[in-house]
Amino acid sequence: MTSNLFLPQSKGSTVDVSIIHGGRTTVPTLYVFQNKIPGHDVLDIPCYSFLIENKKQGKKVLFDLGIMKAWKEKQPPQILGQIEFAKAVMDIDKDVTEQLSESKVALESIDSIIWSHHHIDHTGDPSLFPASTALVVGPGFKSNKTTFPGYPENPEALVANDAFLGRELIELDFSTDLKIGGFPAVDYFGDGGFYILQAQGHTHDHISALARTSDDKFVFLGGDVAHHPGEYRPTAHLPLPESVQPSPFAINTLTSSCPGALFEECHPAKGTSKDYRTTPFYELNPAMNVSLPDAIESVNKMEAFDASPNVFVVIAHDTSLLDVLPFFPKTINNWDSANYKSIGTWRFLKDFGGAIKS
């Protein structure tokens, strides 16, 4: 079954997409998913920041920043309490600013930082950027007490005030007719190279993005629409193959394979009327989303992009792509010819190794 996804026509512009590794953290899977798969107890996740470069216009933006290195000193007490409660590992080697500088990308050349949403594993430390770098946020950010004004001016805030101080804070307006794959959309540079999508459900201010890497190819930056590919794979649009190739358990062996039926046993559809080959492994948890119905709708919309051979979906925390993709300063613009999508699609199944062997 194929989906009816209409991708926007090219206006002659593309963007370069690089992924910066913005730190690593852990979350117990019981916080993230509604159901449990034995042996998969903790998500040990990278936090991706995306450098988007529009060469024609000479502009660079960052979509998310990962985690700030100085989180202990700068995060509001509520956030520190949450980290302690979750016993989360916070492993940040270098801020995104350091990584850019080391690769000779001047911080002054970054026009904007776009936050997919206000969570600490996405917001990084905008105060390290010059005042000329604007901060762009999703709808609802400025009118919600948990996000604006920032801490400590506003004790209820979950974000630090110094992220916005002295810089332009732009809240996106999606009240136009443009929709892509059901998501309200903004043509960010006005040339069809980079779209921001309003993807509600996870938080009040959540947005995703769609970057055009060639005339008809795109990278979908999912943010936290999902936290693990098992939340949006497999589906009727993208069924679990009879033979999974390469095998998720093999390292760099592209010709390896394993039977898809191996995963029937640990799939929650087992014993129900649902088909394990067309039902995602994980259901979203209400505790992880301000609106579960909206979050489910966003995942459903993202699944259509995921099933399209013209779109490569990369969520902010996709661990399974860590050993598949090249990272900054390299770009992933050649994702299609390099087969990153076909190699990476089923790699997340390795997380269920414990369940199928138990």
- Positions touching Zn ion (CB under 5 A) are 119, 121, 224
Question: Closest approach of Cβ 202 to Zn ion, in Å?
Answer: 6
* Residue closer to Zn ion (CB basis): 224 or 336: 224
Question: Closest approach of Cβ 203 to Zn ion, in Å?
Answer: 6
3-state secondary structure the chain: CCCCCCCCCCCCCCCEEEEEEEEEEEEEHHHHECCCCCCCCEEEEEEEEEEEEECCCCEEEEECCCCCCCHHHHCCHHHHHHHHHCCCCEECCCCHHHHHHHCCCCHHHEEEEECCCCCHHHHCCHHHCCCCCEEEECCCCCCCCCCCCCECCCCCCCCEHHHCCCCCEEECCCCCCCEECCEEEEECCCCCCEEEEECCCCCCCCEEEEEEEECCEEEEEEECCCCCHHHCCCCCCCCCCCEECCCCCCCCCCCCCEEHHHHCCCCCCCCCCCCCCCCCCCCECHHHCCCHHHHHHHHHHHHHHHHCCCEEEEECCCHHHCCCCCCCCCCCCCCCCCCHHHHHCCHHHHHHHHHHHC
Question: Closest approach of Cβ 317 to Zn ion, in Å?
Answer: 6
Question: Closest approach of Cβ 123 to Zn ion, in Å?
Answer: 10
* Residue closer to Zn ion (CB basis): 43 or 61: 43
Question: Closest approach of Cβ 201 to Zn ion, in Å?
Answer: 11
* Residue closer to Zn ion (CB basis): 224 or 318: 224
* Residue closer to Zn ion (CB basis): 238 or 295: 295
Name 282's Cβ contacts closer than 8 Å, sequence gap at least 6. 32, 33, 34, 35, 37, 228, 230, 231
* Residue closer to Zn ion (CB basis): 60 or 119: 119
Q: Point out which residues pair with 266 in neighbouring strands.
A: none
Question: Closest approach of Cβ 118 to Zn ion, in Å?
Answer: 8
Question: Closest approach of Cβ 295 to Zn ion, in Å?
Answer: 11
* Residue closer to Zn ion (CB basis): 43 or 349: 43
Q: Is the peptide bond before 329 cis (omega within 30 degrees of 0)?
A: yes
* Residue closer to Zn ion (CB basis): 185 or 315: 315
Question: Closest approach of Cβ 342 to Zn ion, in Å?
Answer: 26
* Residue closer to Zn ion (CB basis): 11 or 87: 87
